[in-house]
A = this chain, B = another copy of it.
Amino acid sequence: MRAPVFGLIDHIGVAVFDLDAALELYEGSFGMPVAHRETVTEQGVEAVLLDVGATHVELLRPLAGETAVGRFLAKRGPGLHHVAYRVDDIAATLAELREGGIDLIDAEPRTGIRRSRVAFLHPRSTGGVLTEIVEPDRGVH
């Protein structure tokens, strides 16, 4: 047993074909307030972040078929895409994971939604679960 590496589940990422239908469910039926909406061109998605307590749901609509989320949808259909854990210091956490033998998709943090810093771990190291770590921008939770 080592000290905890992650703070808590920050969000789940959900791949969708139809953002309006997904918002009708998450905002309309589930009452989750929309916290943020953003097109993240480098990740090839239009993303909507909704609050559920201190955690979030991130809806992801691909901008094109030949994107990571587009290929996921073509193969698996809509559904759970990834889980993200919140960390205080993403650079320190990445170094700790790398030393622990975890394969990283992102060796360095990159900019995520809402000015967060994010990195993805490789599913081959994480039992098939696409796992993200996220350090929120100061000023948002």
Identify the A interface with B (CB < 8 A). Answer: 1-9, 11-12, 14, 16, 21-22, 25, 27-33, 52-55, 57, 76-83, 85-86, 97, 100-102, 123, 125-130
Contacts and interface: CB of A to CB of B under 8 A. Distances in A.
Copies in the complex: 2
B97 A9 contact: no
Contacts of A32: 4, 6
Contact of A83 (B4, B31, B80, B127): B80
Contacts of A30: 4-6
B55 A55 contact: yes
Contact of A55 (B9, B79, B126): B9
Given A9-B55, A29-B101, 11 more contacts: A1-B27, A4-B30, A4-B33, A6-B31, A8-B55, A22-B127, A25-B127, A29-B97, A29-B100, A55-B55, A80-B130
